[in-house]
Structure 1
Amino acid sequence: MAARAIWRGHLSVGELVCPVTLHGAASEGERISFHIINRDTGHRVRRRYVDSETGRPVEDEDIVKGYETPDGDCVILEPEEIKAAVPKSDKRLEMQTFIACDDVDTTFFERPYFVAPADSHAAEAYALIREAMEEKKVAGLARTVLFRRVRTLLLRPHEEGIIATTLNFDYEVRDGTEIFDEISEIRVSGEMLDLARHIIETKMGQFDPSEFEDRYEQAVAELVKAKLAGRKPKKPRKIETGKVTDLMEALRRSAGAGAGAKRGKTKATGREAGQRRKAG
C-alpha cells in the first residue's frame, strides 16, 4: 500500500506544470516509544497545564500563545490572529532557480521528501522535468507553504523519481567560524600525512545505510524482551577507547592493521573463489 501523501500541489518550471504529491522519505514510526506511567497504579499519566504563579490548572480554552519581549512584557497572540498572519498556500512548487547538485552546503539540509506524480496524466510532464534535470546535473530551488511556514526546498533527481529536501534558513544555521577559529593551527609532517592517507585508502568503501546500527533501539528492545521474559538483560559490550600518547605510533599501528585486514580479505575472497570453481 502506497504511503499517504502529506502534501498535494503542482510542480512548475516556467509554463510547464505537473500535479505532484509529497511523501515523507524519513520516518520515526519504527522507533520504540514509551508511555508515561504512574508507578503505583500502572495507569497512564495525563499532562495538564498549570499557572506558574497560582499553581492552578488552566483549561484548554484559556490557553493562548505569548511572545516575551526583551523588557519582560508578554504579547498575547490569539489563535485567530496567528491564523490570519500565516502565509496562504497556493499549493505550488515553482522552480525558479537551478544550481549544480553539489552547490548547496549540506549544513542547510533539514528533512527529505519524495516527490511523485499525482496521477497517470502527470507522469509525462514529471518524467520530462526529472530527465532534463538529471541530464544537466542540476537541482532546482523552489518555495512553498509547508506545515504553515514558507519553506525553501531543494529538488534533485533521485533513482527513478525526484527527492525534495527542506532547507534551514540562513539565520537557523550557525556560522562555523566561531567554533573552528578556536582550533590551533598545526603543521602535519609528511610521514604522518602519508600514513593517514594510507589508512583512509585501506578503509575506502561505499555508503550503505543498512550497515549502521541503532544501538539505542537495540538496547531498549533487548531490555523490554528481558523484562517480559523475567530475565536479566544482556550487558552491553564495553567499547575500549585507548588513550593516544604517541600519534605517530598510533598511525603506524593503524596502518599495519589496515594492511593486514586488506590482505586477509583478499585471501578469503581467493579461497571462496577456489571453492566456487571446485563446486562448478
Structure 2
Amino acid sequence: MAPRANWKGTLKLGFLSCPVALYSAVSDGDEIHLNMVNRRTGNRLRRLFVDDETGKPVERDQQVKGYALDNDQYVVLTEEEIEAAIPDSTKTIEIEAFVPRAQVDRLAIDRPYYLAPTDKVAEEAFGVIRAATEKAGVVGIARTVLFRRDRVVLLCPEGPGFLANLLHFEYEMRDEADAFADIPKLKIGGEMLELAEHIIGKKKGKFEPEKFEDRYEAALTELIRAKQRGETIKRPPAPKRGQVIDLMAALRESAGVKAAKAKAAGKTKRKTASPKRKAG
C-alpha cells in the first residue's frame, strides 16, 4: 500500500511539466507521545489560555496572533490577514536552477521528502527531468509554496525519483564563528595524534542505521510496561565518570596500549638515542 502523500502538485521545468506528489522521507509516527495528567485524579489536563493582565480565560474566537513591539504593545494579526499575506499556492514546484551538489551548504538542508510522479501519464516527463539531472551530475533548486510558506527545495536524483529537501533561508542559518570563536588553535602531533588516529582506525566501518536503537523510546516503553505490571521503578545507578587528568594515558588506554608497555617503549627509545656530543 502506497503511503499517503503530504502534498500534490506539478513539477515544472521550462515548458515541461508533470503531476507529482511529496511523501515524507522520515516518520515520527512510532514515537511515544505523553499527555499531561492530573496526579490526584488521573484525568487528562487541557491547555487554557488566560489574559496576562486580568488572569481570566480567553475564548477561542477571541484568540489572535500578535507581534511584540518594544513598548510591550502588540501588532494584532488575524488569521484572515495572515492568509492574505501568504503567497498564493500555485501547487507548482518550479525548477529555477541546476547547481553542483557540493555548492549547497549542508547547514541549509532541512526535512527530507520523496518526490514521485502521481500516475502513468506523468512518468515519462518526470523520468526525463530526473534522468537529465542525474546525467548532468547536478541538483535542482526549485521554488514553491508548501504548508503556507514560501519554500526553496533541493531536488537530488534518488532511485527512480527525487529526494526533495526543504532548504533554510540564509537569514535562518547562523555563522559557525559564533559557536567556534572561543576554540583555541592547537597544534596536535606526535604520539598523541597517532594514538587518536589508531583509535579511529579501529572503529572504522560502514554506516548501518539499523544498529542504532532509540534508547529513550526503548526505556520509556519498558517503563510504561513495568508501571502497568505494578512494579516499583528504581533509578539505575549513575555511571561512574572519572575526570580525565592525563590525556595521553586516556588515549593509550582507549587505543589498547598498556601504560607499562608504553613506558618500556619510552625507555628503550631513550637508550638507543645517540648521545649528545660534548662541547670541546
TM-score normalised by L of structure 2: 0.86
SS in 1 for 2:103: coil
| CA–CA separation in structure 1 for the residues paired with 2:134 and 2:233 | 50
Q: Does residue 157 of the first structure (1) align with residue 157 of the second (2)?
A: yes
Q: Does residue 125 of the first structure (1) align with residue 122 of the second (2)?
A: no
What is the CA-CA distance between 1:8 and the residue it aligns to?
0.9
SS in 1 for 2:154: strand
Once the two structures are superposed, the pairs formed by residues 114-263 of structure 1 within 5 Å of their partners are 114-233=114-233, 236=236, 238-256=238-256
What is the CA-CA distance between 1:237 and the residue it aligns to?
7.4
| CA–CA separation in structure 1 for the residues paired with 2:236 and 2:166 | 37
Report Cα offsets for 1:216-243 as digits up to 9, x if no partner.
1111101000011122347557544443
**Counterpart in 1 of 2:61?**
61
Report Cα offsets for 1:241-269 as digits up to 9, x if no partner.
44322222222222237xxxxxxxxxxxx
* Matched letter for residue 50 of structure 1: V
* Matched letter for residue 88 of structure 1: D
Structure 1 residues 255 and 40, CA, compared in 2 at 3 Å: closer, same or farther? closer
SS in 2 for 1:193: helix
Structure 1 residues 155 and 201, CA, compared in 2 at 3 Å: closer, same or farther? same
| CA–CA separation in structure 1 for the residues paired with 2:20 and 2:151 | 17
SS in 1 for 2:102: coil
Aligned-pair identity (%): 49
Report Cα offsets for 1:34-86 as digits up to 9, x if no partner.
12222232222221211111111111111111111123221111221111111
TM-score normalised by L of structure 1: 0.86
**Counterpart in 2 of 1:6?**
6
| CA–CA separation in structure 1 for the residues paired with 2:206 and 2:19 | 35
Report Cα offsets for 1:148-177 as digits up to 9, x if no partner.
110111111123321111111111111110
Listed as ranges, the gaps of 5+ residues in structure 1 are 258-280
**Counterpart in 2 of 1:262?**
none
**Counterpart in 1 of 2:269?**
none
| CA–CA separation in structure 2 for the residues paired with 1:8 and 1:153 | 15
**Counterpart in 2 of 1:270?**
none
| CA–CA separation in structure 1 for the residues paired with 2:80 and 2:24 | 29
| CA–CA separation in structure 1 for the residues paired with 2:120 and 2:113 | 20
Structure 1 residues 163 and 239, CA, compared in 2 at 3 Å: closer, same or farther? farther
Once the two structures are superposed, the pairs formed by residues 9-88 of structure 1 within 5 Å of their partners are 9-88=9-88
* Matched letter for residue 100 of structure 1: P
Q: Which has the larger radius of gyration?
A: 2
Q: How many residues align?
A: 257
Structure 1 residues 249 and 141, CA, compared in 2 at 3 Å: closer, same or farther? same
Structure 1 residues 121 and 234, CA, compared in 2 at 3 Å: closer, same or farther? farther
| CA–CA separation in structure 2 for the residues paired with 1:237 and 1:20 | 53
8 Å contact kept, 1:66–1:75: yes
Deviates more, 1:139-148 or 1:35-44: 35-44
